[in-house]
């Protein structure tokens, strides 16, 4: 971690913030669903394996390891039963990062894309630390960069984050549809975007990601100016993506704008919750460690409840 934090050797290592990691270092990024993996890890696998968690008994069949025969049960029933245990495995962790032009917006602090990069790097670091395979897909109106999941791709992921520049307009449905075709295994997916589309359209776009049983986490990154709309003077507002300009008198519109934005966030929260998708809105003015700690703590607590 110290090596990464120094940031000199690997481009993008600056995104792995020691301050953030020091706060969330004791937390795990666990998949809420059953995932596929090759090696033992922190996540539940769909198969029975050699973990300490008892799963069930089944009748002995020729070829079973006699060490797994439950002798106590044989004593009671005079039949051979084999004990089966849950399997724990590692998983694939992919970051789906929106790099459209709107993500380049900033009202003073880090841009949304920078903030999202910090977030992606931290999550990937956590996954990488717990022996999960990590990958990244950046997209705007199409897929921009694709780094396949691999235990060795963390550095490439950081490099990709470093290279990402907001250049084109964004759209979810096109690129997300293509991504869905690539994820063959059940994975943990972290989708990071500013979601400037209608909630129904967004949901329709990301539904395919859920088809394979992927564990989808959605991070909605917004600048405080987008939430508060604290402009004063009448100005021409230019759309970052389309270049369209509208003359605006903020003092007349701010209240309506805030209401519409809040309505949008509420709609997204409701709809994602209905589809068992973790949704988290992140304000770039808030420290990432606080936001991430809060999110992961909640997630762990929810896991326990389940």
Residues that bind other proteins (CB under 8 A): 102-103, 105, 112, 194, 196-197, 223, 226, 231, 233-242, 244-249, 252-253, 256-257, 260-261, 264
The least distance separating other proteins from the CB of residue 144, rounded to whole angstroms, comes to: 18
Are the CB atoms for 175 and 140 separated by under 8 Å? yes
The least distance separating other proteins from the CB of residue 237, rounded to whole angstroms, comes to: 5
Complex with other proteins: residue 75 or 252, whichever CB lies closer: 252
The least distance separating other proteins from the CB of residue 255, rounded to whole angstroms, comes to: 10
Complex with other proteins: residue 93 or 105, whichever CB lies closer: 105
The least distance separating other proteins from the CB of residue 106, rounded to whole angstroms, comes to: 10
The least distance separating other proteins from the CB of residue 177, rounded to whole angstroms, comes to: 21
Are the CB atoms for 191 and 96 separated by under 8 Å? yes
Q: How far is CA 61 from the centre of its chain?
A: 42
- Tell whether the torsion through CA atoms of 270, 275, 278 and 279 is positive or negative: negative
Are the CB atoms for 196 and 170 separated by under 8 Å? yes
Measured distance CA(247)–CA(241) in Å, rounded: 17
Are the CB atoms for 69 and 78 separated by under 8 Å? no
Exposure of 273 in the CB half-sphere (CA atoms within 13 A): 7
The least distance separating other proteins from the CB of residue 244, rounded to whole angstroms, comes to: 6
Measured distance CA(83)–CA(55) in Å, rounded: 8
Residues 6+ apart with CB under 8 A from 259: none
DSSP H helices, 81-186, are 112-129, 154-163, 173-182
The least distance separating other proteins from the CB of residue 99, rounded to whole angstroms, comes to: 13
Complex with other proteins: residue 51 or 254, whichever CB lies closer: 254
Complex with other proteins: residue 27 or 227, whichever CB lies closer: 227
Complex with other proteins: residue 39 or 249, whichever CB lies closer: 249
Are the CB atoms for 282 and 222 separated by under 8 Å? yes
């Amino acid at each position: 971690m110290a090596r990464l934090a120094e940031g000199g050797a690997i481009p993008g290592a600056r995104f792995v913030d020691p301050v953030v990691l020091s706060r969330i270092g004791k937390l795990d990024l666990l998949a809420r669903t059953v995932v596929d993996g090759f090696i033992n890890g922190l996540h539940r696998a769909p198969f029975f394996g050699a973990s300490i968690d008892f799963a069930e008994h089944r009748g002995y069949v020729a070829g079973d390891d006699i060490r797994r025969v439950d002798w106590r049960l044989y004593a009671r029933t005079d039949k051979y039963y084999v004990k089966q245990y849950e399997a724990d495995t590692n998983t694939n962790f992919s970051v789906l990062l929106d790099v459209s032009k709107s993500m380049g917006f900033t009202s003073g602090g880090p841009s949304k894309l920078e903030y999202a990069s910090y977030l992606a790097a931290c999550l990937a670091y956590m996954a990488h630390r717990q022996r999960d395979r990590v990958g990244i897909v950046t997209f705007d109106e199409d897929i921009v960069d694709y780094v396949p999941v691999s235990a060795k791709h963390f550095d490439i992921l950081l490099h990709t984050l470093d290279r990402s520049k907001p250049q084109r307009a964004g759209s979810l449905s096109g690129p997300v549809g293509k991504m869905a075709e690539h994820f063959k295994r059940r994975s943990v997916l972290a989708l990071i975007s500013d979601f400037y589309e209608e909630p129904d359209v967004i949901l329709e776009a990301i539904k395919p990601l859920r088809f394979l049983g992927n564990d989808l986490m959605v991070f909605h990154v917004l600048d405080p100016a987008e939430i508060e709309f604290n402009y004063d003077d009448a100005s021409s507002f230019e759309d970052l993506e389309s270049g369209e300009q509208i003359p605006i008198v903020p003092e007349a519109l701010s209240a309506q704008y805030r209401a519409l934005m809040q309505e949008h966030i509420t709609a997204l929260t409701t709809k994602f919750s209905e589809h068992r998708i973790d949704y988290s809105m992140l304000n770039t003015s808030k420290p990432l460690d606080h936001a991430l700690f809060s999110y992961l703590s909640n997630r762990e607590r929810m896991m326990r409840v389940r």
